[in-house]
Chains A and B, each alone.
Chain A
């Protein structure tokens, strides 16, 4: 029987963590990790590996953990992934590596994500150097964007000996890892900064405060600055709004703005200059991971928080673990209702959000049941702040300033799935810039594939 249950992981208690920004999940100890690793059956045909977008040799690293060979485990992971401490924390493992784990058929799948996280944290705490690269070949590649796809592509190219420079628009590298995902899921100064430092240790240069398309164009990088190939990993950072009346009232923010103020600018911390306003009662509109992050952030800033989502709990696109954490912390879910107007007081400040009740109709193109308005069911939730978390799309800045680089109707760059080749010779792309908003690990996988394709292209 004991093989069926995974070793539980310690977490901060909900009533304590709801008022701090410290990490919720405390991770495995050495003995817990070893005990969990012992559950792995070491399958001959491991399905877990096929489900990992960067193909980490999962049974091999777990075997090392089982034998308490943590450094060796870290080396196995490093062959495939540049950001294990991040992925171990934020990957949706339940729909990836852990989904087809044999143990999952009759009990709990092996906690692959928690083991990966343990190994990465252990190697950080023990200063393990994983920076071996092939000899430098002196050939220059530019990477646009220091998010997961860019860091992963840059890391892989550096390991192959390339001279890589990442250009980042913000003042800090990490992309969504620093501005989007909150501290309580992904600590910045320890975990993210250390993974960025690991990529730098491979010889990758990072130039922050450079906006491609404004500060310098892609053409200038290739024709004046001597870069022989470019990888675009500029993400999908453009926020969507609902275009309903009252949306420009004071107190209505995009989740991107709210989270950037809090995470990148550290508005929640004493001594930092950037202000943030969460109000007393907040409505977060949307049901994805970003909505959960915004809601749980507003809660920690002292507000009563409502998630307003037009479908039911079963259709929430957020990870089950995040929804579970949000409920534990006291977030209120107003399901099957959709905002139609934001109400403001005479001074222009939000005083309420008018919603209409919904019911689920026939499945739509995405296979999910389409929400349909119930006529005459409008009602008002009294709130003083509204955070719009409806999704994001790629920023058109690079495509609009680079002749020959084509994007589709949704603003996503057109690129080959296996190689990342764009419509422009020598220019590759991957991650959210190509797919629209997706996951950290899919972006990393795309960065990896593109690194291989860039290597092939430059060897031709």
Chain B
């Protein structure tokens, strides 16, 4: 059993939990993920590691309620237990393995969309701890949905916020903001790391390809075991089939077949589920201009 040590509501329907999992905390690196299972009858859900405390033996996860399982998960409180919490899974971020001196010479930009701010955080934090202050763009619907702003400010060089409705920071999408920074403000980046909904990562990768900026994306396909034994999470990268859970989750964004990946992620959407997601979106006033949910 894996006890929830703390729970916090970060934004409407977005929760943070610190979970006691000493072995996972000890081995965790930025870029990796865990799989959680609530109880005997629950399904296995992959979640990117948002933070970890090796001394306290805790791992932080952030999730948004999108379906039946995450809604049930949101009802769990500090003191409750996950029956299973396994990880760290996947390859650590390439940044962790790169030569530090070479890394220091690079201008790095992180782009986070929605709940993607959570998995961006440990990477930016890791760089900050190693003397590198990367820039970051965080995009969300409106001010209420902005995650971890205070924490991010402490570890980034420049933090830019974009909201769909302009209620805070830049009005517009993260892609427009990145374009403006490069074209209007003359910012130069050697590397972009984008984490968020697949559609956002796709458009960021398209944009950076024009500028010839290397771009890493963190893929989030449907998973079951997360250890390479089923291939449910397979995707095409540079024409070759890869398993996101063992070969990734991070890949070269210019090589990923996003259309296939997005199509595959709808495989288990039921008719009821699709209706429910639409209903939620309407209730929250989110108008998706990027083609999601079509």
Contacts and interface: CB of A to CB of B under 8 A. Distances in A.
Interface of A: 169-171, 208-211, 214-216, 237-239, 241, 243, 247-248, 250-251, 253-254, 256-257, 260-261, 265-266, 271-275, 277, 347-348, 392, 395, 397
Contacts of A257: 224, 230-232
Given A250-B263, A261-B224, A277-B267, 10 more contacts: A209-B85, A209-B86, A210-B86, A215-B27, A216-B23, A237-B228, A248-B260, A254-B232, A257-B231, A271-B41
B230 A215 contact: no
B55 interface: no
Interface string B222-252: 0011011111101110000100001000000
Contacts of A169: 86, 225, 227
Nearest to A170: B225
A345 to B, nearest CB: 11
Contacts of B232: 253-254, 257
Contacts of A248: 234-236, 241, 260, 264
Interface in B76-116: 83-89
State the majority secondary structure of interface residues on A. Answer: loop
A69 to B, nearest CB: 38
B267 A395 contact: no
A271 B40 CA distance: 10
A260 B225 contact: yes
Interface string B10-44: 00000000000001101100000000010001111
A210 B227 contact: no
A171 B260 CA distance: 30
A311 B227 CA distance: 32
Contacts, number: 105
Contact of B44 (A274, A277, A347): A274
Contacts of A216: 23, 26-27
Nearest to B230: A257
B229 A239 contact: yes
B43 A265 contact: yes
Contacts of A277: 267-268
Given A248-B260, A251-B267, A260-B230, A214 B43 contact: no
B43 A274 contact: yes
Nearest to B68: A273
Contacts of B267: 250-251, 277
Contacts of B26: 216
B210 interface: no
A266 B39 CA distance: 13
Nearest to B26: A216
B219 to A, nearest CB: 13
Contacts of A251: 267
Contacts of B69: 273
Given A208-B84, A211-B86, A250 B228 contact: no
Which 7 residue pairs across A and B have the least CB separation, nearest first?
A: A257-B230, A237-B229, A209-B86, A273-B43, A171-B84, A274-B43, A348-B263
A250 B236 contact: no
B289 interface: no
A241 B231 contact: yes
10 contacts: A170-B227, A208-B84, A209-B84, A209-B85, A210-B86, A237-B229, A239-B231, A261-B224, A348-B263, A397-B246
Contacts of B280: none
B43 A215 contact: no
A214 B87 contact: yes
A173 B37 CA distance: 16
Given A171-B83, A209-B85, A260-B229, A273 B27 contact: no
Given A271-B41, A277-B268, A397 B231 contact: no
Nearest to B69: A273
Contacts of B85: 209
Contacts of B24: 215
A377 B32 CA distance: 48
B233 to A, nearest CB: 9
A239 B260 CA distance: 20
Contacts of B231: 239, 241, 253-254, 256-257
Given A210-B23, A241-B241, A265-B43, A275 B270 contact: yes
Interface centre among B27, B87, B89 (most CB of A within 10 A): B27
Interface in B32-60: 37, 41-44
A397 B228 CA distance: 9
B266 interface: yes
Nearest to B264: A250
Given A214-B88, A215-B27, A239-B229, A247 B224 contact: no
Interface string B144-188: 000000000000000000000000000000000000000000000
Contacts of A392: 229
B270 A265 contact: no
B271 to A, nearest CB: 12
A265 B229 contact: no
A247 B89 CA distance: 25
A316 B222 CA distance: 33
Contacts of A171: 37, 44, 83-84, 86
A322 to B, nearest CB: 22
A214 B92 CA distance: 10
A273 B264 contact: no
| Most chain A beta-carbon neighbours within 10 Å: one of B23, B89, B230, B232 | B230
A255 B200 CA distance: 32
Contacts of A272: 41, 43
A132 B44 CA distance: 37
Nearest to A240: B231
A395 B227 contact: yes
A257 B225 CA distance: 9
A94 to B, nearest CB: 29
Contacts of B263: 250, 347-348
Nearest to B269: A275
Contacts of B88: 214-215
**Most chain B CB neighbours (cut-off 10 Å) among A210, A243, A248:** A248
B254 to A, nearest CB: 19
A392 B41 CA distance: 28
Contacts of B41: 266, 271-273
B260 to A, nearest CB: 6
B268 A275 contact: yes
Given A214-B89, A250-B264, A275-B270, A260 B43 contact: no
